Structure 1
Amino acid sequence: MKKIGVIIVEDDELDRLLITSFVKRIDAFEIIDIYENAEQVLERNNFDDVDCMFLDIDLPGISGLALREKLKSISICVFITSHPDYAVDSFEAEALDFLVKPIHFNRFEKTYERINDYLELSNKAELYDNFLGNDVIFIKVGNKEIKIKLHEVLYLEGLKDYTQIVLKEKKYCVLSNIGKILQNEKFKTFIRIHRSYAVQKSMISSFDGNELELNENIKLPIGRNFRKNIDL
């Protein structure tokens, strides 16, 4: 399971050590970096590996609230402060939680539970969006728009400027070559196995050097230049 990448931004050394020790006690967390002020954080070019930021509001120079405004790309922010009055400001800055010093581990554990709940909900929402959006395409057949669920597609067959989309019981022909179709983000689960064929990896039941078998006992040739694409 992927760990939750954490950065800590705290200017007080004792508080910084305390928060670091709390983070290390929770296996799901992984400390990416630790900073003493906002300026150090802003020297970093990329935050793609950072999921959560523990951020002191009362930083010298650029405040924690101002830093949060600059780093909205980090989805989870937990503010830390000695002043409970900052709570309203922190939630307006899209903080997930607000810790008041002195911080105790039992309260920190509740913050972790909130972070974990948030990530679970986010993952479910992302999967749901993918199911609704990325799993469906529409193709035109005559005057009709036909909906096709991509997880039901067995394979694609290229026929010069056309491509056949082959399902268990039906085939649809579209005016687009197979290479162009595979460039579409919605077909990212397909792999090219031959100049004329592409299949969904999940549909493959077995293969040898020259031939591949799909779940419906369909056998397709494997092109010599495409064998490297098959890695079960």
Structure 2
Amino acid sequence: MKLYSSIIVDDDEIDRLTVVSYAKKFPWITISGVFENASTALSFLENNDIDIAFLDIEMPGASGIELRKKALSIPVCVFISSHFESAAETFEIQTLDFIVKPFKFPRFEQTMHRIEEFMNIKIKADLYEQTIGGDAIYVKSGTEKVKIRLHEILYLEALKNYTVIVTESKRHYVLKGLTEFLTEDFFRQFVRIHRSFAVMSAKINKVNTSEIELVNGTNLPIGRSYKNDLQNQL
């Protein structure tokens, strides 16, 4: 089992202890440091490589967002904050997930499964390739090819240098950037709503100030710089 190192940064002691307690339930993660402010965390990061960061947003001194901007080399960042209005902004700085306080273990467990999935795919991404033909995309994994029809795709999600093709039943991983996908005619019905997300227009059920709701109930954030593109598309 591969172990991944993590840090927890939160100025609230109870919240720090909660994250520590929850994280210890997963044997594949180690806690390398627990900090109550961004400055001490940054000092630690100068001499230590970390895989996962759990960050609060509002803290004395520098915020968690400022910390993340100075530590973009950390592969996975999860924000845990009561300031849900900041979620869209955090996804602009390579955030994997945003947990709203107060939260319970099932929500944290959901995030941990997503982190594990991300780490596994990061290792295996080079096994995937995609070819386009007709009204379908064919995703290759090893010796098998999976056919995904255009109308089955809910949205595309950018994760580092590969893209997740999300359908209602599965997530498919392709070693190809989201921007490159969106330049192809096959994906002309998709509109980019965020640095990390592009959705098929027909799958949008509702548009709010800071997020959209898809027909299956999934909510995705709208990036500030993409609001005009979304309005024009609709």
Partner SS for 1:79: strand
Conservation of the 8 A alpha-carbon contact between 1:6 and 1:53? yes
Q: For residues 48 and 82 of structure 2, what CA distance do their matches in structure 1 show? A: 27
Letter in 2 for 1:105: F
In structure 2, the partner of 1:22 is 22
Q: For residues 17 and 126 of structure 1, what CA distance do their matches in structure 2 show? A: 38
The TM-score with structure 1 as length reference comes to: 0.53
Query: Where does 1:54-65 land on structure 2 (aligned, <5 Å)?
Result: 54-65=54-65
Q: For residues 46 and 68 of structure 1, what CA distance do their matches in structure 2 show? A: 16
1:81 aligns to 2:85 (yes or no): no
The verdict on how the C-alpha distance between 1:126 and 1:60 changes in structure 2, with shifts beyond 3 A counting, is farther
Partner SS for 1:43: helix
Post-superposition offset of 1:60: 1.1
Q: For residues 10 and 126 of structure 2, what CA distance do their matches in structure 1 show? A: 32
Cα deviations by residue, 1:93-114 (Å, 9 ceiling, x for unpaired): 1100001101110000000111
1:7 aligns to 2:12 (yes or no): no
Partner SS for 2:119: helix
The verdict on how the C-alpha distance between 1:125 and 1:46 changes in structure 2, with shifts beyond 3 A counting, is farther
Query: Where does 1:159-170 land on structure 2 (aligned, <5 Å)?
Result: none
Q: For residues 88 and 48 of structure 2, what CA distance do their matches in structure 1 show? A: 26
Letter in 1 for 2:118: Y
Q: For residues 97 and 2 of structure 1, what CA distance do their matches in structure 2 show? A: 21
Cα deviations by residue, 1:62-101 (Å, 9 ceiling, x for unpaired): 0100100000010100001111111101111110000110
In structure 2, the partner of 1:67 is 67
1:91 aligns to 2:84 (yes or no): no
Q: For residues 6 and 126 of structure 1, what CA distance do their matches in structure 2 show? A: 25
In structure 1, the partner of 2:123 is 123
Conservation of the 8 A alpha-carbon contact between 2:57 and 2:83? no
Conservation of the 8 A alpha-carbon contact between 2:57 and 2:65? yes
Q: For residues 103 and 20 of structure 2, what CA distance do their matches in structure 1 show? A: 12
Cα deviations by residue, 1:139-194 (Å, 9 ceiling, x for unpaired): xxxxxxxxxxxxxxxxxxxxxxxxxxxxxxxxxxxxxxxxxxxxxxxxxxxxxxxx
Q: For residues 47 and 118 of structure 1, what CA distance do their matches in structure 2 show? A: 21
The verdict on how the C-alpha distance between 1:12 and 1:121 changes in structure 2, with shifts beyond 3 A counting, is same
| Poorly superposed stretches of 4+, deviation over 3 Å | 126-129
Q: For residues 97 and 48 of structure 2, what CA distance do their matches in structure 1 show? A: 20
Q: For residues 54 and 34 of structure 2, what CA distance do their matches in structure 1 show? A: 10
Cα deviations by residue, 1:35-74 (Å, 9 ceiling, x for unpaired): 11001012122232x1100000111110100100000010
Q: For residues 53 and 66 of structure 2, what CA distance do their matches in structure 1 show? A: 14
Q: For residues 86 and 63 of structure 1, what CA distance do their matches in structure 2 show? A: 12
Q: For residues 42 and 115 of structure 2, what CA distance do their matches in structure 1 show? A: 24
Cα deviations by residue, 1:172-224 (Å, 9 ceiling, x for unpaired): xxxxxxxxxxxxxxxxxxxxxxxxxxxxxxxxxxxxxxxxxxxxxxxxxxxxx
Give the aligned CA root-mean-square deviation in angstroms: 1.6
Letter in 2 for 1:23: A
Post-superposition offset of 1:4: 1.5
Conservation of the 8 A alpha-carbon contact between 1:47 and 1:74? no
The TM-score with structure 2 as length reference comes to: 0.52
Q: For residues 43 and 90 of structure 2, what CA distance do their matches in structure 1 show? A: 23
- Taking only the aligned residue pairs, the percentage that are identical comes to 47
In structure 1, the partner of 2:41 is 41
Letter in 1 for 2:94: E
